[in-house]
């Protein structure tokens, strides 16, 4: 099942924004006509015996030379998430109409033309992995219903996407196109794995890789927080940024001053913070008290609470306590967002990720209407925006998808450049953790030169902020050039 159509957008492209403030300069740029196709693609190692079919939506600029026009394959994460978030909130030619600060509109919401669509500089293919969107495992040779569980682990998952990419390139005569992959959250793990797997097993060298709020390690050696300092150390700058957004702690609240202030927090995290934790139990009490007071000042918490946590303040403790005097709880996906705590008396209730939960209901109406009325794609299947069953059944033991995979690809494929972007206020995948892990993995100077980082105002989906989305557009378009 598929449907194609042609559209036109006269886009207002916003340029020259160095900070997260609204840019002062703008110019008109016509995107031109483009073709759209929504379809199911059978995939499998043996094309004659496909094991699943993946839904995709492709946008192609009309009249462009395929040998010079890049093509980008996009997917979200979860595991269990469809590609609708990147498709309809940041990259595609139509996006959800949200408030400028990134807060969600009332329902029914609507879609509007996206002036910062990546279609300005690359063709786009949005992929829904197995059991997300309308993608499903196919019946077996005996005609029995398809079993999706073999796809619920990293290697089978990324191989299914690699099979899709290779088949799409062949069916659409795009082998000569510059090729890119972009993934969000767990999709960042997919990008890392695919950057290596496509090269080694599928004869496809990627030119560009974009990792958006990526998860790069599902587990860390010695994951017990009592002994592993990496997660605590790399979370600290994001906690300080969130505290500043709520005018708690010692950091300035002005966004323009945040990058410089956080640079100091990063240095503290790498040096005095780690050594201070290592010295607990050995240092004099006055030194220990001063250490906990400094941490509390940075992240806006009482030093007594920091001391109770032995300096290791988890995301759960942080979101529960930063605004506890107001009986409010923070959103881990965007720490700037606070809601009334429905269970303030329960210390163990610390998860109210309103942004992720509510977004699906806001986005579903306009997206399903767009698929049906604009693209003409209809299905009796349920569209799984975020399949929590997939997430709960996922096998997280596979080593595939790691900073080492991306490091290997950057070292071997000298045509590859990677861009890693995050929101300052994301407590689920902190920006400093990705930077630290990749700096510990990508050693060669030539490879490091082709690895870039960007951080923006906002949380996990920082691109919901109009100013941050504009900043991202500027950075990604330059990255592709």
Mean pLDDT value across residues 218-236: 71
Residues 72, 56 contacting (CB under 8 angstroms): no
Q: How does residue 230 score in pLDDT terms, banded at 50, 70 and 90?
A: confident
Question: What pLDDT score was predicted for residue 5?
Answer: 42
pLDDT of residue 219: 58
For helices 285-299 and 258-268, the axis angle rounded to 10 degrees is 150
Residue identified by tokens 């997430």 is 391
pLDDT tens string 110-152: 999 999 999 999 999 999 999 999 999 998 877 778 888 999 9
- Sorting pLDDT into bands at 50, 70 and 90, what band is 18? very low
Q: pLDDT at position 226, please?
A: 65
Q: What's the burial of 445, exposed, middle or buried (CB within 10 Å: 0-12/13-18/19+)?
A: exposed
Top-confidence residue, 243 or 21: 243
Q: What is the pLDDT of residues 382-436, one digit of tens each?
A: 999 999 899 889 888 777 788 999 999 999 999 999 999 999 999 999 999 999 9
What is the DSSP code (8-state) at residue 210? E
Domain 2-218+357-480 = CATH 3.30.360.10 = no
Listed in order, the ranges of the chain carrying CATH 3.40.50.1820 are: 2-218+357-480
Region 230-256: what's the mean pLDDT? 94
List pLDDT tens digits, range 292-324.
999 999 999 999 999 999 999 999 999 999 999
Q: What's the token pair of residue 364? A: 């579903």
Percent of residues, the chain, with pLDDT higher than 90: 72
Range from 82-96, 327-341, 388-402, 420-434 carrying the lowest mean pLDDT: 388-402
241, 250 contact by CB (below 8 A): no
Q: How far apart are CA 311 and CA 293, in angstroms?
A: 10
Q: How confident is the model at residue 350 (pLDDT cuts 50, 70, 90)?
A: low
Average pLDDT (154-171) is: 96
Q: What's the whole-model pTM score?
A: 0.89
Q: What is the reported pLDDT for 26? A: 33
For the cut 60, the answer to whether the pLDDT of residue 1 exceeds it is: no
């Amino acid at each position: 099942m598929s449907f194609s159509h042609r559209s036109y957008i006269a886009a207002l492209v916003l340029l020259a924004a160095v900070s997260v403030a609204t840019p002062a300069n703008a110019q008109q740029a016509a995107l031109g006509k483009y073709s759209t196709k929504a379809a199911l693609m059978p995939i499998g190692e043996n094309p004659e015996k496909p094991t699943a079919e993946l839904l995709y939506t492709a946008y192609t600029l009309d009249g462009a030379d395929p040998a010079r026009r890049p093509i980008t394959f996009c997917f979200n994460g979860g595991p269990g998430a469809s590609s609708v978030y990147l498709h309809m909130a940041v990259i595609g030619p139509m996006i959800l109409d949200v408030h400028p600060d990134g807060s969600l509109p009332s329902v029914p919401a609507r879609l509007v033309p996206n002036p910062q669509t990546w279609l300005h500089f690359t063709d786009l293919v949005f992929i829904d992995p197995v059991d997300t969107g309308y993608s499903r495992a196919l019946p077996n040779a005996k005609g029995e219903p398809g079993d999706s569980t073999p796809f619920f682990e990293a290697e089978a998952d990324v191989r299914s996407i690699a099979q899709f990419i290779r088949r799409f390139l062949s069916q659409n005569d795009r082998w000569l196109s510059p090729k890119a992959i972009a993934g969000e959250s767990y999709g960042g793990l997919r990008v890392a794995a695919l950057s290596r797997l496509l090269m080694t097993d599928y004869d496809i060298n990627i030119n560009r890789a974009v990792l958006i709020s990526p998860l790069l390690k599902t587990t860390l050696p010695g994951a017990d927080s009592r002994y592993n300092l990496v997660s605590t150390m790399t979370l600290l700058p994001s906690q300080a940024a969130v505290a500043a957004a709520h005018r708690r702690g010692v950091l300035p609240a002005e966004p323009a001053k945040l990058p410089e202030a956080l640079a100091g927090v990063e240095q503290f995290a790498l040096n005095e913070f780690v050594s201070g934790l290592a010295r607990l139990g050995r240092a004099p009490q006055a030194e220990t008290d001063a250490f906990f007071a400094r941490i509390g000042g940075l992240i806006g918490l009482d030093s007594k609470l920091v001391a109770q946590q032995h300096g290791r303040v988890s995301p759960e403790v942080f979101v529960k306590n930063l605004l506890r005097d107001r009986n409010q709880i923070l959103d881990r996906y965007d720490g700037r967002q606070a809601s009334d705590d429905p269970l303030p008396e329960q210390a163990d209730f610390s998860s109210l990720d309103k942004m992720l939960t509510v977004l699906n209901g806001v986005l579903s109406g306009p997206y399903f209407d767009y698929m049906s009325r604009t693209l003409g794609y209809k299905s009796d299947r349920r569209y799984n925006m975020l399949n929590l069953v997939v997430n709960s059944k996922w096998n997280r033991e596979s080593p595939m998808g790691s900073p080492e995979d991306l490091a290997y690809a950057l070292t071997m494929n000298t045509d590859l450049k990677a861009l890693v972007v995050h929101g300052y206020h994301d407590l689920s995948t902190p920006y400093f953790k990705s930077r630290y892990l990749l700096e510990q993995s990508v050693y060669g100077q030539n490879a490091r030169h082709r690895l870039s980082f960007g951080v923006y105002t906002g949380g996990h989906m920082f691109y919901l902020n109009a100013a941050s989305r504009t900043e991202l557009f500027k950075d990604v378009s330059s990255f592709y050039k």
